[in-house]
Chains A and B, each alone.
Chain A
């Protein structure tokens, strides 16, 4: 059963179709990879599915409910969370606050009268220890290295305890030790029967991690299926992988 589907989705930027009549499905409990050349519309697709940008045509179906519009503050209720291609943390806040902000009350009035409690700190501690950032909990995010910021963003997504995770190039720029942490996180999510979507360029990672692969080119669907099948597809090789 698919949890997230896009049907006839179109997004136009300045007359150019970044996503062109696209129909895809993200299957429940799978790790799905989305690959394709630069400018193929991968990030645009994820931005549409997570409400960051609106779309001109088509629809997004989440858990069998059709949505003509997706607002960013609604995706949390749909069980969706994400990371960004260019890391988007709360730069002038501490590492700990970046996690606490997703653990605490969403309602304005409840938030006004809430102070974070011991259990919030414990939860944050567990999450940050999972990415080796607990020691840096009081540091401002600005002072972290690039890799640490990537890990923190992933940790923040984990803290959401969502059903569906969109990770946009989570491995880019990471050292091998940090890559291993992210791989372990993704496997953990799969064990918990969560749905993970990875935008990636590292084909070996795609081959090793993903249950399914979606290949995009020029805003359209080029191929989809199991990694071993898709990665041997001549069209995919011609458009993206090369000889």
Chain B
């Protein structure tokens, strides 16, 4: 049960991430690879506050959101000047900058040592120690973020970001200052990613910069693309598949001296096959 709950927690955290990135990549058509930086900001906010102050988990989540909103505002101001490939490159650059800060600001982030001993959340004296209780809390957060995302994409704002994805220049003719929309959705998605980061830090109880390297942004992007762009259910499916597939392969009996390597090979092959036969992703309706 604890293992299943663990998988549920990981899936929930990465569904939050995948859904939040989907707002930028799937709905708005902006190929951002800076997302894991905001995941890290949320995680470090929670880790630092829980280990160095008396501030509790839920307050740390709010602090993480504010930190992510602030940093995404500054980063987004610059990114919104770019299009297409240059946007992707610039976003990668920011990801590297934020990672370097995590790695080098040792007095605050612990540098390569990371931060250990992060507490689990506590609410009215109850500590979410068990995997099952933590899963319940994570699911509540996930549902809240799902409804937020649903609210956004079904509003007039949601329609506009889809139009930006399709033809930003044409949309401007109709009186839309599209860079404000791009900045806003970037900030909202960063805030959501920070929430996922806070949960990640408190669940794993240890974080270090390796969890927030640029390669992890690609990992999250692959969940969005696999699940299908501009569909929250697709984002969830993509995250669940990518988390579950290697776990499923742990149970496929293979000789121990090649098991790990064979699992990687099978995992890679399955992803390739999926993309050949379903390039728009499981529930994809849109293309980048």
Q: Which A residues are closer than 8 A to B by beta carbons?
A: 50-52, 71-73, 75-77, 81-82, 84, 88-93, 97, 100-102, 104-106, 108, 110-116, 156, 160
Q: Which residue of A lies closest to B164 (CB)?
A: A90
Chain B residues near A105 (CB-CB < 8 A): 156
The 7 closest A-B pairs by CB, nearest first: A76-B175, A72-B172, A104-B156, A90-B166, A111-B157, A88-B170, A114-B156
Contact A73/B156 with A81-B173, A90-B166, A93-B163 known, Cβ cut-off 8 Å: no
Chain B residues near A88 (CB-CB < 8 A): 167, 169-170
Complex Cα spacing A101 to B114, Å: 47
Chain B residues near A75 (CB-CB < 8 A): 173, 175
Is B152 a contact of A112 with CB atoms below 8 Å? yes
Interface of B is mostly: helix
**Does B263 sit within 8 A of A, measured CB to CB?**
no
**Does B278 sit within 8 A of A, measured CB to CB?**
no
Indicate which residue in B162, B169, B286 contacts A97 across the interface (CB closer than 8 Å): B162
Q: Which residue of B lies closest to A104 (CB)?
A: B156
- What is the CB-to-nearest-CB distance from B20 to chain A, in angstroms, rounded to a whole number? 16
- What is the CB-to-nearest-CB distance from B165 to chain A, in angstroms, rounded to a whole number? 7
Is A84 a contact of B176 with CB atoms below 8 Å? no
Chain A residues near B172 (CB-CB < 8 A): 51, 71-73
Indicate which residue in A72, A76, A92, A106 contacts B162 across the interface (CB closer than 8 Å): A92
Indicate which residue in B166, B170, B171, B180 contacts A108 across the interface (CB closer than 8 Å): B180
**Does B277 sit within 8 A of A, measured CB to CB?**
no
Complex Cα spacing A91 to B288, Å: 12
Is A101 a contact of B155 with CB atoms below 8 Å? no
Chain B residues near A73 (CB-CB < 8 A): 172-173, 175-178
Chain B residues near A111 (CB-CB < 8 A): 155-157, 160, 181
